[in-house]
Structure 1
Amino acid sequence: MLPKISQVDYEIRLVTHLLSIRFLRPFNGKLATSRAISDDTYGFETEDSLCREWLLSIYNSYSFYEGFETLESCLSYIHSTNYDNDIYRIVKFSDQYYAVVYENSQHQQVIGKEVSYFTRNNLFLSAKRPPSNLMIKDRHKLPPIPLIYYELNAFDPALTIYKLVKKNSIDYMELPVEEAIEYAVLLGVSFKDIWYKCDSPHAIAHNRAILNLYFAKGHNLTLFGKYSKAIAINPFQRLVYLQKGRIEPFQMDVEDIRAQQRLLPYREVRRFHENIRTRPVNFSINDSDS
């Protein structure tokens, strides 16, 4: 079963947890975050108003898909692949199981029952199953910003991560979440589906402030959207929404703020067209321009 929790109950659970770990801080009836959303106030917005809008947007920013129904079926998939078994972790979420690979930003996979997500060429792509020839680059893995794990945990506090005991074994062991949190974060990224407008100076500043919670500030994602002439950007799925309803992928190295995001040439867009995620676009959460 995928999460069954009302939005109100979800927000109570999430805020309570974020306060307990001091990610959120109350001050005179107002809220602030440990990672400041904005360096300064601008227009008529404050840290408190941005923080509350962000909290109200989280519940509907997730679009879940099914995992394997049993741990055994997830293990069976892992043993059937061309990749070393020991690079996988299994994330149990809402009584379903997902096989997850997080070697570094260049090699990531999330495999569910009928759909999978994977990185290639700094894109985040989708298919029924990942290709069998993804390159594994020797690159240091940086720790992720854990916020998406906290958001997932509010849907399912029983979230659990497992690993195989030995390379070719069917035995597995549970891991402390703090030792494998990046796998839960990556699973959450594959669920996360929200668009941020970037077609006005206010929208650029407003949504950049919220995205500072999820990405290093140097990425400047809404500014990239502006220069790409996009109406909105979905940085979790690495997509931009352009004029006339066109959706295109963009390349992004989440671990290197010096590497500039870029749109694909038309020929490359056609090459990856069938692997681009195209769920319905909804701007209702972040469509304020004033």
Structure 2
Amino acid sequence: MQPIISQIDYEIRLVQHLLSNRFLRTENGKLLTARSISDDTVGFETEDSLCREWLLSIYPSYHFYDGFETLDLCHQYIQSTNYDNELFRIVQFHGQFFAVVYENARHQQVIGRETSYFTKNNLFLCAKRPPSNLMTKDRNKLPPIPLIYYELHAFDPALKIYQLHKETHVYQEVPILEAIEYAVLLGITFKDIWYLCDSPHAIAHNRALLNLYFNQGHNLTLFGKYSNAIAINPFQRLVHLQKGRIEHFQMDVDNPRSQQRLVPYREVRRLHEQMRTRPIQFDTSLQPI
């Protein structure tokens, strides 16, 4: 799947949308993020250049994969699984359909035509299909930060979400705000961007950017530093270590007090095939890579 909108048109649409819902604001001719984004999450209030840098980084941070061609094919996949069909929502994006489970941070699945994501042991893993024996975790679902939904909306304002009707057993469209976390989770699987964490300046700079997407208590760039990483990709939950090594890390998204952890060495090779990566090109500036 390729974006059908140019980067310039995308950025115009995104900024207009973010201004209309007050995620962005203007002050003395400069762009700033809103002080309060969602619950305890606060955007950076800073100079115009950092805000513009962030906006310019969004379009190339998305790397799409294909969904099912029709809603019926997506529904057929859901019926073939061992999971309760009512756990799933179907997200329609760019005319394709993705099966999504977002029970809580410990039990998530996103299934496309040939690519799927799932959570297991605080890892975010990629495979052709999720395992059939993922455990359902009894845990509250916290409201997501909606920014990634806004970013997806700028790619496709016609994005829709469907839920299985209990009586008719037919998928029916539901209001976005009632199921926005499913669109956010789908967007996370598309979003693939690296942030430098190899210097004090890079750590502070990129921490400000990541605070737009994650609770500030996670301190992802500091975790990268203490892991001796060059860069961190928190959306795919990967770190780029010395000598070109890329490894998974464990993260409890809903609990900023829980420390991120590198995968034990004995697990690294076993999990290496369960990541979706592209060649990394480092930028000498402090922009995301």
Measured against the shorter chain, the TM-score band is over 0.9
Relative distance call for 1:15 and 1:3 in structure 2 (3 A) is same
Whether 2:37 is the aligned partner of 1:32: answer no
1:98 match? 98
2:215 match? 216
2:20 match? 20
2:59 match? 59
Whether 2:274 is the aligned partner of 1:275: answer yes
Q: Which amino acid aligns with 1:205?
A: A
Once residues 127 and 217 of structure 2 are traced to their aligned partners in structure 1, the CA distance between those partners, rounded to angstroms, is 30
1:128 match? 128
- Aligned residue runs from structure 1 range 200-215, under 5 A: 200-215=199-214
2:113 match? 113
Give the CA deviation at 1:38.
Answer: 3.7
Q: Which amino acid aligns with 2:242?
A: Q
SS at match of 1:274: coil
Q: Which amino acid aligns with 2:12?
A: I
Give the CA deviation at 1:170.
Answer: 4.3
Once residues 174 and 287 of structure 2 are traced to their aligned partners in structure 1, the CA distance between those partners, rounded to angstroms, is 42
2:256 match? 257
Once residues 43 and 275 of structure 2 are traced to their aligned partners in structure 1, the CA distance between those partners, rounded to angstroms, is 30
Could you report, residue by residue, the CA deviation over 1:124-163 in whole angstroms, capped at 9, with x for unpaired residues?
A: 1000000000010100000000000000000000000001
Q: Which amino acid aligns with 2:47?
A: E
Give the CA deviation at 1:284.
Answer: 3.9
Q: How many residues align?
A: 282
Once residues 265 and 114 of structure 2 are traced to their aligned partners in structure 1, the CA distance between those partners, rounded to angstroms, is 29
Once residues 11 and 285 of structure 2 are traced to their aligned partners in structure 1, the CA distance between those partners, rounded to angstroms, is 18
Contact 2:32 2:44 in 1 (8 A): no
Give the CA deviation at 1:271.
Answer: 2.6
Give the CA deviation at 1:172.
Answer: 1.3
Relative distance call for 1:117 and 1:285 in structure 2 (3 A) is farther
Alignment RMSD, CA only? 1.6
2:70 match? 70
Question: After the TM superposition, which of the residue ranges 116-125 and 278-287 deviates more from structure 2?
Answer: 278-287
Give the CA deviation at 1:166.
Answer: 1.8
Once residues 208 and 140 of structure 1 are traced to their aligned partners in structure 2, the CA distance between those partners, rounded to angstroms, is 27
2:39 match? none
SS at match of 1:153: helix
Q: Which amino acid aligns with 1:265?
A: P
Contact 2:53 2:287 in 1 (8 A): no
Contact 1:37 1:47 in 2 (8 A): no
Once residues 200 and 82 of structure 1 are traced to their aligned partners in structure 2, the CA distance between those partners, rounded to angstroms, is 46
Once residues 113 and 17 of structure 2 are traced to their aligned partners in structure 1, the CA distance between those partners, rounded to angstroms, is 30
Give the CA deviation at 1:279.
Answer: 2.1
2:183 match? 184
Give the CA deviation at 1:282.
Answer: 3.3
2:194 match? 195
Q: Which amino acid aligns with 1:83?
A: Y
Give the CA deviation at 1:2.
Answer: 4.2
1:234 match? 233
TM-score for both structures, normalised by structure 2: 0.94
TM-score for both structures, normalised by structure 1: 0.94
Give the CA deviation at 1:47.
Answer: 3.1
Q: Which amino acid aligns with 1:198?
A: C
SS at match of 2:273: helix
Identity of aligned residues (%): 74
Give the CA deviation at 1:37.
Answer: 4.0
Contact 1:37 1:50 in 2 (8 A): no
Contact 1:251 1:262 in 2 (8 A): yes
Relative distance call for 1:288 and 1:155 in structure 2 (3 A) is closer
Could you report, residue by residue, the CA deviation over 1:165-188 in whole angstroms, capped at 9, with x for unpaired residues?
A: 128x64111100000000000000
Could you report, residue by residue, the CA deviation over 1:198-234 in whole angstroms, capped at 9, with x for unpaired residues?
A: 0011100000000010001100000000000000000
Once residues 173 and 78 of structure 2 are traced to their aligned partners in structure 1, the CA distance between those partners, rounded to angstroms, is 17
Once residues 107 and 61 of structure 2 are traced to their aligned partners in structure 1, the CA distance between those partners, rounded to angstroms, is 25
1:42 match? none
2:137 match? 137
Once residues 287 and 86 of structure 2 are traced to their aligned partners in structure 1, the CA distance between those partners, rounded to angstroms, is 46
Give unpaired runs (5+ residues) of structure 2.
Answer: 36-41
Question: After the TM superposition, which of the residue ranges 269-278 and 229-238 deviates more from structure 2?
Answer: 269-278
Once residues 56 and 230 of structure 2 are traced to their aligned partners in structure 1, the CA distance between those partners, rounded to angstroms, is 22
SS at match of 2:272: helix
Contact 1:194 1:282 in 2 (8 A): no
